[in-house]
A and B are shown apart, each in its own frame.
Chain A
């Protein structure tokens, strides 16, 4: 304590010195510069997270290895004699790239009518890099944020939220059920294509699919179906999954296909079994009745 007092006193003696103001200013500049250097400087941020250029460069490196075979070295797409090999990615935007990569649809394992969803091949950092590269090819829809796709981020009251779910249901029935079925269970399309089941799809992926129209799915732009409309559709899909199945077993919610198959296999099969049982021979005894008079 005495030591501290003494050193404070020593400093205090110099505070009226002619050099004091200069020293304080120099000290202040050094501290501010140091903080800037340590926390805020762009060159320093580089060492922690990558710059856009580096991210895009990394994405381009990954793209050249994993994607360019079908989409061309600059994402311009490749046309072969039989038609399009891989479509142009110029202007599809980061949302489309993120959707295709996070749902595992791309990279495609084999050419076919439809790219099926599978486990993602790239990790999150790689997906961010490739998406950044593809977004840099041309202007297109950006990756949506939770503020867009999550109805809970819209700050609605309980009543407004319930109304949004109802509205989302109307929009779903009008725009989505034709292909994805009334329950979001998906359905068949011509030539072996299909509309996928929506039940295990993340909110972000659902939003991205509506925004970008992957494969045969049409686009539903934010200008026509606003972010809130899309978030309402997603909230509706969530609500019908929480709903208990009051009608008994849903059998996948596929309508007459699975229900008809159940009726044919189990209903009619059971009836055939009973018919066999009724007409089958019963066991017979070698004994005879003592008195024949009981015969009818």
Chain B
């Protein structure tokens, strides 16, 4: 233990047998075999050249729409030629290393990575001397003000983060839904009557205004309710929060508490998963389970969107709905809790439950 730099054990339990005798490869001892291997390696490199040239030729000669056996001709030709060009270089190099490069066995002894005792002692002494001469220990005022300055110089960095954008405020709690907003079928944009829905039906829906109205009547209706057709970045932001699914079940399959939210077995749920916000539409009409394809969170739509499986922590939010005076399905209010995944400033579940209770008590009056 005293002599660590040497790194050799004091005594070996088994005598070191040394390296076995080196056996030569045929290419080392037979010039004809060596010549043959050389030609093989050269052949692979030349094949690679051919493939690379084929790549260039196909790039210019093949029309983008051409096909070979149902596949895009451009993709097949470019992929295969470049792939084989690289593969042949690799094969050539391996063959070269195995047949022709020297293959002598050598052994290298390992040594400890630490510096010697003297070097370490000298370094520590130098550091100690610097510490004493700077007077850090003797002059606490200098030391403390320096620490303060180093700390406060971080503040400008934090303040600069303010430029990342305005604070979100209530944006995550509110969506475009409000009392009277009609529910429309996604893509076609048509209003929906309760009689349009059969038991077991699923409708991927949006609030009116997020889908282009199909005719003048729908547009006039939207504008009469104070809405407008949303475009651009606002459309994307709203769609990420406001998309819903509309389902109809036998009222007997729905818990009593859930029935308050819907209309004759028709329920409107947020389409945004409460785990990380994937849009969900895998609804099994017989089990009433809604499955998120991203991480398999499963919600029971007959029971207030309760989580029955998976990583989601909260039930899927319901949108309270009603039938308006013209007989179309519409929202009774905005969502009563923030939709989608959790975030830092989100209030506690108890707070949102209280809001919900307040809404239904007021509605009952």
A interface vs B, CB < 8 Å? 167, 170-171, 174-175, 178-179, 187, 189-190, 193, 213, 215-221, 223-226, 229, 244-249, 274, 277-278, 282-289, 295-296
Contact = CB atoms under 8 A, between A and B. Distances in A.
8 contacts: A178-B280, A187-B293, A190-B291, A219-B201, A224-B197, A248-B76, A278-B94, A284-B24
Contacts, number: 124
Contact of B75 (A224, A229, A246): A246
Given A170-B187, A190-B291, A247-B75, 14 more contacts: A174-B187, A216-B284, A216-B285, A220-B201, A220-B203, A221-B197, A223-B197, A224-B203, A246-B71, A278-B98, A282-B25, A284-B25, A285-B24, A295-B104
Nearest to B28: A289
A170 B94 CA distance: 51
Nearest to A195: B282
B270 interface: no
A296 B102 contact: yes
Contacts of B285: 213, 216-219
A8 B271 CA distance: 87
Nearest to A175: B204
A190 B293 CA distance: 10
A245 B70 CA distance: 6
Contacts of B186: 174-175
Nearest to A226: B188
Contacts of A285: 23-26, 28-30
Contacts of A249: 71
A174 B98 CA distance: 57
Nearest to B202: A218
A187 B102 CA distance: 55
Chain A contact residues, majority secondary structure: loop
B202 A246 contact: no
A249 B104 CA distance: 45
A240 to B, nearest CB: 13
B137 interface: no
Nearest to B201: A219
A283 B104 contact: no
B72 interface: yes
A295 B103 CA distance: 10
B97 interface: yes
A193 B192 contact: no
A218 B99 contact: no
B193 A223 contact: yes
B266 to A, nearest CB: 12
Contact of A225 (B76, B185, B283): B185
Interface pairs A-B: 4 shortest CB-CB? A218-B202, A246-B72, A223-B196, A178-B281
A292 to B, nearest CB: 10
A190 to B, nearest CB: 6
B187 A167 contact: yes
A274 B196 contact: no
A201 B186 CA distance: 25
Contacts of A226: 188
B193 A282 contact: no
A283 B99 CA distance: 9
B200 interface: yes
Contacts of A248: 71-72, 75-76, 79
B291 to A, nearest CB: 6
Q: Which of A218, A219, A283 neighbours the largest number of chain B CB atoms within 10 Å of its CB?
A: A218
B198 interface: yes
Nearest to B75: A248
Contacts of B282: 178-179, 189
Nearest to B292: A178
B51 interface: no
A76 to B, nearest CB: 16
B259 interface: no
Nearest to B71: A245
Nearest to B93: A278
Contacts of A190: 284, 289, 291, 296, 298, 309
A219 B249 CA distance: 11
A213 B187 contact: no
Contact of B200 (A219, A229, A283, A288): A219
B247 interface: yes
A217 B247 CA distance: 12
Contacts of B281: 175, 178-179
A221 B196 contact: yes
A220 B98 contact: no
A238 B24 CA distance: 65
Nearest to A249: B71
Nearest to A296: B102
Nearest to B68: A244
Q: Which of A174, A193, A296 neighbours the largest number of chain B CB atoms within 10 Å of its CB?
A: A174
Nearest to B203: A224
A218 B283 contact: yes
Nearest to B279: A178
